Amino acid sequence: MSHYTIKALRIGELYLPHGGSLMRDPIHCWLVQGNGYNILVDSGMAEIPVIRQRLKVGGSGGGHPALLALLAEHGLTPADIHYVVLTHMHFDHAENLDLFPDSMVVVQRAELLGAVDPVPSQRVYYWQSSIDNLLARKRTRKVMLLDGDHELVPGVQLLSVPSHTEGMQVVVVSTEKGRAAIVSDLGDHYRYWFPADARATKSPQRSLSDAFLTGNIRSESERTWQKAMAHVVANSDIVIPAHDFRVPTSVPEQWFAIPDSTDGDLAHVPPPGGFN
């Protein structure tokens, strides 16, 4: 059995309008290592000045400097990355691809088509720079377009789960303790996966004890999204959401299905120095 480790790389934060105030949204990439492979799941967001100019929101980090520094912490440069797997092509998950000219970028064909012609409500999330960085790669053989579930390498499975976007995919990684699903925005906080559990959310909903909570940003129906989440649960042991502060930073050393409590959820706790 092929086993891997997963490291959470927090490339920055976004400060997003929410209920009349601001919400902190941590932005993660994921470094999957094992069996001679270095795999980067998602390539993160641009630097905050660029995002502020385009979307009028603040934050911290992002861009080439942040991603290069995170890789360096693990003794890596972009040249060491064999695959960059894009869970989807929204601006906070698919920028910085130009750092990886020699890596194989892996994306669902439906996602690329959806990025070029998105559902109207998602036009703001797909940036031309992400599309251009993918299509303008020097060697077209360095782009792998998929049509459904796929085994990337032994022990790393990609699940096609149309939901949040038309070509959403989840990365399921085999570790010494079990299968960890990097679920990205299929359910980007633990509350979406465990909506009735007080450890996952401050507002548990008993009516959802046998179901999931689906997001508002979607290309598919709620029923399709529920099936997508069930498909992931059936093929993994734990989930790792994209934008929750409580995600494990090192797997399998840290291994849990649900956080101990909501105490570490900093979404509505102002960052040091306040929002900017």
Q: What is the pLDDT of residues 202-234, one digit of tens each?
A: 999 999 999 999 999 999 999 999 999 999 999
Ranges of the chain with pLDDT below 70: 138-140
Question: Which tokens in the block code for residue 193?
Answer: 């996966």
pLDDT of residue 178: 98
CA distances from 11 to 14, 81, 211, 266 (A): 10, 17, 31, 16
For the chain, report the end-to-end CA distance as a whole number of angstroms: 47
Q: How many CB atoms lie within 10 A of CB 30?
A: 23
Report residue 54 as tokens. 């385009």
3-state secondary structure string, 192-226?
HHCCCCCCCCCCCCHHHCCCCCCCCCCCCCHHHHH
What's the confidence (pLDDT) of residue 138? 63
State the alpha helices, DSSP H only, in the chain.
48-55, 63-72, 109-116, 128-135, 190-193, 222-234
Strand duo 37-41 + 83-85: pairing:
parallel
Residue 140 pLDDT: 66
Question: Cα–Cα–Cα angle for 142, 148, 152, nearest 5°?
Answer: 50
Q: Which domains does the chain have, with CATH numbers?
A: 5-251 (3.60.15.10)
